[in-house]
Amino acid sequence: MSPRKTILASSLAVLLGTGALLSAPAVQATGSIGDVWSQIAYPTSLSDDAALTPQGFCALCHVRDGESAGPTNSYGAAILNACRDLTGGGQCTTEALLLAAFAAAEGDNSDGDPDGFINIAEINADAQPGWTVGDNVPSSLVGELLDPVVTAADIDVVPVVVDFGSVVVGERVTGNEVTINNVGGDVLTVGSLTLTGDPVFSLGQNTPATPFDVPAGGNEIVGVVYEPDAVGPDFGALEIASNDPDEPLVTVALQGIGIEVAQCFPSVDPLELAFGQVIVGTTLQLPVTLTNNGSVDSCTVDVSVPQCIDGEFVLTSPAALTLGPGETSIITVAYSPINLGQDNCRIDLAIVEASDVTVPMSGEGVDALLTDLDIKQFKATKNTSVGRVVSLNITIENNGTEEGPGLLTVTGEQNGVPFVHQVVEVRDAIGNGATKVTLQSYIPEEAGEILWTADLQDGDPDDDVATALTTVR
């Protein structure tokens, strides 16, 4: 407990008794209360000082306004606050007001002297300008109340938890700070700063050497550093020892998570691009999805297709791209056979931050339509809600002369944002009617209509496209 609170508690038992209740917001030294303060509490010279207001004692708590007392000054406001503390926020008795007048600290410097003494000590020492010592101070207030009181050092640390979040193993994170504030009236001496827990935490270079002092109302900054040496969570603490009588040891929790080394980590789907049978003189275009599975770094990729088989394979998407962590991009290649027979080529992906990737390609030029897969029906869940499953299925049939594969690409667009949902190879035997294919389900995360598009390519010069609509509420 602070000295002022000790004084208040000890004196309250003496002074608080029954008395007329006053409205705290409207406390003024007038009438009977003024008489009590003038005749019992304060030196009578107050009321005799012609330089003050006609009721001179009012200048103790009020701003002078001509010949009358104006609004409360800083000391008057301190009296009101002290009185409210004494009464637990209720109304102030005459005795409580009297005690508050003697016990209110001079922290607001109402007399121009920021010494932190209680006002009665300054009054008794004739420290208040224009005042003289009176003989009528109540004996109950003599002793402890008349001794100078300086509020003890009081530590306040912000924050009490420092969370560094996810940090790559081996990286050093600086800039996180702990502020040590002294909200008391005496000098705060910090005797030691001790780190405990995992040894991956350290103090910053600008942290002051211990012991060090923090003046009343001042602060000092302590830097904390995190450098994880392994994957996983780390926990520690910064222990701050000081001369705060109530809180000699403050602990600041430290935490962080070490993660794997940041890198570009690319993957492609499919691993091989098979165009199947394509009629000579026609063109089939197929996609490859490139994904950066890394956690932090971007992938810088140069895409190229060499001159294979008289240029029958041609890159139709941008030749340079950059993928951030978790991002994907679609690479498209067109196959246009100019003669009969098997053709082979590749897609070269030169990745600056990782190893290069090669995607083999194959196709066959034919002079007749051997495989002709067509979309007979495309269905999607018509109505659903956020978080509920959307089912998708498609029915295909083969109107050609031989069984063969086709590549089905299903995309969606919701609220103007397109996305690739699934790319899958489908086939249908000759003469077996139709084949139903169940696609991956989809769980929407927001409301709005989803327009589904199914695009089937199989060497047939005409693209087979079908759409479906899902309404999400």
Q: Which CATH entry fits the domain spanning 266-366: 3.40.50.2030, 2.60.40.10, 3.40.50.300, 3.40.50.150?
A: 2.60.40.10
The beta-strand segments (E) located in 260-382 are 266-269, 273-279, 284-292, 299-304, 313-315, 320-323, 328-335, 341-351, 357-366, 373-380
pTM over 0.95: no
Cα separation, 393 vs 181, whole angstroms: 65
Q: Which CATH entry fits the domain spanning 155-259: 2.60.40.10, 2.40.50.140, 3.40.140.10, 3.30.2350.10?
A: 2.60.40.10
Q: What are the tens digits of pLDDT across the range 27-55?
A: 333 344 455 455 444 544 343 333 333 44
Same CATH fold assignment for domains 266-366 and 373-472: yes
CB burial string 58-92: b at 16+ within 10 A, e below: bbbbbeeeeeebeebbbbbebbbebbbbbbeeeeb
Whether domain 373-472 has CATH 2.160.10.10: the reply is no
Closest CA to 450 of 360, 389, 359: 389
Using the predicted structure, report yes or no on whether residue 107 has a pLDDT greater than 50. no
Using the predicted structure, report yes or no on whether residue 103 has a pLDDT greater than 60. no
Q: What is the mean pLDDT of the chain?
A: 75
Closest CA to 147 of 121, 175, 171: 121
The domains of the chain are located at 3-146, 155-259, 266-366, 373-472
Q: What are the tens digits of pLDDT across the range 335-365?
A: 999 999 999 999 999 988 888 899 999 999 9
Q: Pairing state of beta strands 313-315 and 320-323?
A: unpaired
> At 77, which helix (H) or strand (E)?
helix 74-86
Instruction: Give the pLDDT confidence score for residue 60 in this predicted structure.
Output: 60
Residue 292: how many CB atoms within 10 A of its CB? 25
Who contacts 99 (Cβ-Cβ below 8 Å, separation ≥6)? 8, 11, 12, 15, 16, 82, 83, 86
pLDDT bucket at 193, cuts 50 / 70 / 90:
very high
Residue 270 tokens read as 């499919």
Give the range among 37-46, 217-226, 238-247, 427-436 with minimum mean pLDDT.
Answer: 37-46
